[in-house]
Chain A
């Protein structure tokens, strides 16, 4: 009996300590803490709230502290901040479509005027693969899925008049061109009179997953990896509040993987980046806190919730124990979540509103920090304005009408959810071990192993859907004979493309050609000497060298990736 009451006492003490230490962060803020019936809800529920007569069962408190912990404390299963959504709701991502730099600028300014604190800059495909708008392969793709950025001039137009010091977060999809994108933001802000230290940019910058999932690669994988880490190293030293990389599971998932593979492969790639950063003399605490894990939310509600919780626990052990981080914030994983695009159906597209809502619910119950939701008509083409608005409304209804923000980790302690979290964690760790046996994230990509694994799973899933083992309502279950209708796509601005070509030609004619040649030669030297490329690229960008020209210099030293089929 004495050990039982000892366990209870120890638990009560640690709970009290957590409450006292975080009192300021547990204040509800704008969250209505009462249920519809008027019951007051606490910031956190734990085994101490169980209706047990006298004592916690032996070991329950110890189990709780070891496996769950309090929110904001190791192992962070219940979330990275003590107050979770009471402190602040998750950041709601907004769709950002194609446009010219000037149009994008207008849209960003209007978002900021309406109170948005951040915005994202989606780049068009030529920019993402380091091709200038006048490259033959860029024909028809300029400005199609995002904004074309050829030179600093485009960045100046994009950022003109934007109060960067009042912006909480800028996100961008740059991956294969990570350091070039960084230089564009730094130089673009400078020429608007803003110091890069006065705002922050969050880069996707995970090139490894491009070789297996998303396809915007330039250099061979080992070079691409080091190029991405140039951003991590530069930010750790010069721009410590920027977010230099997201370890991406989303695109792997969207290519057909399971939830377990999604997290395991993202983290295995993450280990490759971290090892490279450490080999350059950085310490883990210089950058681990600035990393996000980018995951999908699919429809298997409880598995998804368990996945987010397990990912935080694995991260804490990985960064704290394996890499020996000293700072708690290095071990607290921040998650960026996007509802899974491939879960949407072209048939009966309004059904996707319900799908996205359930996926968003999984993300909120899983405790993510930033959430972006899909639009219900995405499987049919570019989203309509109405669908984009509905997607944002879905998040607002979740955050402000359902009460999910009242208490941290509302499903924590549920027998089913804890069981599933443990099983998912074990499965992720086992799969990470398999990747390690393949030689690690990079080697497993280079050998084609990862690609084959994902492809196998994607095919298996497609077969299961076609054989009716996995239900897709309106497609293989309760399907009505109506065919999906695919509306015509808005004509792509031939104007945008022509205008962009003209702008690029003008920049090339007006810039100081000798300075361009000189700075590009320095980029080549940095690449061949294995130095961090960011400083030399920054000088080239300031001299109005183009994204394509800088990429060509680097490729002349490193070569280009040849896809293995």
Chain B
């Protein structure tokens, strides 16, 4: 463990709290052996919240500041102390600084895909995108391996899923809300609530009529997967539309105002609260997005005035809320953009901006078996690359699956019969679960 005293303000006595990734990590083939031998704690989470920060958030201005770097790299933000001694983050994340003991910062995460879409696919799946095959989202895998009951969907995306079910097939696609909730207002999802003008009695009456009329293929149904599937989806749809359970889970106005206020009044914060309600009611994975990180220009004012306050309120509210409800132990949280941003500030505008930079980025993890209040991995003096061994998106994905009790070496067959390992090249980051 070699940490520089000067680069990011970490003092010697804090070394115990701040680990860097040990050489090698854990190779996947060893996974089962190690798990059996009790050398890695098994995952404790059975549900998850995945927060995407599309655009690529600047690591240098958020969770990996370099106060001692030259000014053309450092930027104008200062770092502040958190409630974990030795860990410092951006001054514009004061609320998260107060709950730093609940999450783990991964620094020096590194890959090579500098295009938004490719980077997104990579961090969303833990496998480098290849043309022949689309890897499934985390949620689709969870929906397949640990489905929820029929009234509650397994997978919800607020408002849309950046990553589809890939080779697992459409049946594992997310229920997309297509909209985001607003503070203090009731909320629902397209199609699951009965619209104005039709009552439950009438829906039941219609359903009854449908059942009487839809019998042309009743003899074939048992033998035909398609007809059988259609029938199942039909009755699932009916129970979702008519049961109050799903509607109730989506209706954030059920939360007391004092609870809702913890999340801030922005729609991202309210989406975080919705995600909490959904995992509480049995949804396996909720994915959320907070965009606007593609700060090629005016990096600092955009972050300070817009993105950071939203992230700060929403994410701190989420972690606090999960803990208050006793859900943090069973809910794996994963926050990531598709890449970091260039250390050197460009001068395209007076204020300056930062460009795409996959060689060095940060990610956050919390919940389940994840030990909060630590930093894993480290970037070099100018946050231009990992100081030691890089953490890869593959490693983080393998760890996320592990946290959820899913073996990252699980094998699937694609629709073409090609065998595929869930995470090809990942190593479980053991320090996460220390």
Note whether A and B form a binding pair: no
